[in-house]
Amino acid sequence: MHDHCPACGQRTELEIGFWYGTGYVSYVLSVLFSMFTLALYWLIIGITWRDNSIFHWLIANTILLALSMPVLMRLSRTVYLNFYVGYDPEAKDLRINL
């Protein structure tokens, strides 16, 4: 993670330990991703309690979550930073060269 945004110069770590909150955002994104894959699996393949299809989805979801973790972590940092830092389109004129 950059110390400052390359586009606008905004500091990305506002205080020590600022990024600890991204764990909660990452958790929510992971749950939403899992709900999406469950619905998709249910519509395409179907889930019944008579066979082990729920375990097949759990294995596939675990693999997909593990592969998408780098994207989810960066996305959670972006979402979390946007809670605290707003975007001002006129601030580009005030940019400090670092």
For residue range 55-92, list pLDDT tens digits in order.
999 999 999 999 999 999 999 988 988 888 777 767 66
Q: Distance between terminal CA atoms of the chain?
A: 16
Looking at residue 57, its pLDDT comes to 92
Please state, for a pLDDT cut of 90, what percent of the chain lies above it: 44
Task: Work out the average pLDDT over 5-31.
Answer: 84
What is the CB-side half-sphere exposure of residue 94 using CA atoms within 13 A? 5
Put simply, whether the predicted model's pTM sits higher than 0.85 gets the answer no
Percentages helix, strand, coil for the chain (3-state, rounded to 5) are 65, 0, 30
The single residue listed with the structure tokens 């809670």 is 83
Lowest average pLDDT, out of 26-35, 37-46, 49-58, goes to 49-58
Q: Is the Cβ–Cβ distance between 8 and 95 less than 8 Å?
A: yes
